[in-house]
Amino acid sequence: MESSFNLVAYILLLAAVTLSLISLWRPNKYTGTLALAALVLSFTSLTLALVLRSITGGRLPLATLYEFALLFAWGILLFYFISRKMIKSDLLMVLVALLEVIILSYSNTLSSGTRPLMPALQSIWLQFHVLTAIIAYGAFGLSFCLGLIYLLKEKGYDSIGESILPPLAKIDNLLHWSVAVGFPFMTLVLITGAVWAEEVWGRWWGWDPKETWALITWLIYAAYLHARKTYGWRGKRAAIMAIVGFLAVLFTLFGVSLLLPGAHSYV
């Protein structure tokens, strides 16, 4: 059951990519609306998959990399829907849908078994840790896509209509908003992680690669917020920093698990 909802979510995302691309190429009312509908249904399907997984596993799906990949995709979509209150851009929709497809494709290569929780993972702090990470990384995922469309617009694809690319200042403001929302939650990710590590291993910080990369992510976004506030670093440089910040997120989640050994190797 769960896997069929996953498959449906995946197919709908592919449909959203296709439809939103068509609507970029030949702007019209229908394909854009259809693409959005596909995204909403995909989100629903993903939610159902996660709910089913919780029921069959007898626990919240917060423990394996596969589970987190699904939650990550879920969080980014959530923030995309919120962003539509402020910006409607077809190009943004293409990028978000593409990012979702990439994350879900990657999740398919991970083992999806529902193993019971090993002792180290049986902690309320782990649950807070992952829940705050969904919000932080969802917001950062949105800011990444906004950073990309900012750079594209800057590069001179300026002649296209506003439905595709909103004005630069609008993108920049929404980008700042999403980083400013993500940052306190990223702080919570670090704090809950430290408290959990202290409870489980007796060390609140150990420079384990995953911890280190979460801290690096935090430092990059702190730099973004300060540069923007006190230097007025808006626009291009800020967009680049937001993109680099999200690359650090991706590396924390997937690169570290693959390349760098550490205590977190099970997540």
Interacting residue ranges for ligand HEM, rule: CB under 6 A: 180, 183, 222, 225-226, 229-230
Provide the greatest CA pair distance for the chain.
Answer: 59
CB of 216 to ligand HEM, least distance (A): 12
Report how far apart, in Å, the C-alpha atoms of 66 and of each of 15, 21, 215, 226, 261 are.
23, 28, 22, 34, 18
CB of 80 to ligand HEM, least distance (A): 22
Q: Could you tell me if 172 and 143 are in contact, meaning their C-beta atoms sit under 8 angstroms apart? A: no
Pick 115 or 226: Cβ nearer ligand HEM: 226
The entry of other proteins, ligand HEM, none that residue 225 binds, CB within 5 to 8 Å by partner kind: ligand HEM
Q: Which long-range contacts (CB under 8 A, 24 or more apart) does 177-180 make?
A: 177/86, 178/79, 178/83, 178/139, 178/140, 178/142, 178/143, 178/146, 179/139, 179/140, 179/143, 179/221, 179/224, 179/225, 179/242, 179/245, 180/225
The entry of ligand HEM, other proteins, none that residue 110 binds, CB within 5 to 8 Å by partner kind: none
Q: Extract the tokens encoding 95.
A: 């990028």
The entry of ligand HEM, other proteins, none that residue 209 binds, CB within 5 to 8 Å by partner kind: other proteins
The entry of other proteins, ligand HEM, none that residue 51 binds, CB within 5 to 8 Å by partner kind: none
- How far apart (Å, rounded) are the C-alpha atoms in residues 253 and 2? 23
- How far apart (Å, rounded) are the C-alpha atoms in residues 63 and 67? 7
CB of 174 to ligand HEM, least distance (A): 14
The entry of other proteins, ligand HEM, none that residue 177 binds, CB within 5 to 8 Å by partner kind: other proteins
CB of 229 to ligand HEM, least distance (A): 5
CB of 228 to other proteins, least distance (A): 11
Q: Could you tell me if 165 and 153 are in contact, meaning their C-beta atoms sit under 8 angstroms apart? A: yes
SS3 47: helix
Residues interacting with other proteins, by CB under 8 A?
86-87, 115-116, 118-120, 122-123, 167, 169-170, 173-174, 176-177, 180, 184, 187-188, 191, 194-195, 198-202, 204-205, 207, 209, 212-213, 215-216, 219-220, 222-223, 226-227, 230-231, 256, 260
Pick 154 or 199: Cβ nearer other proteins: 199
- How far apart (Å, rounded) are the C-alpha atoms in residues 36 and 17? 10
CB of 86 to other proteins, least distance (A): 4
Pick 27 or 235: Cβ nearer ligand HEM: 235
Q: Extract the tokens encoding 85.
A: 């209150």
The entry of ligand HEM, other proteins, none that residue 84 binds, CB within 5 to 8 Å by partner kind: none
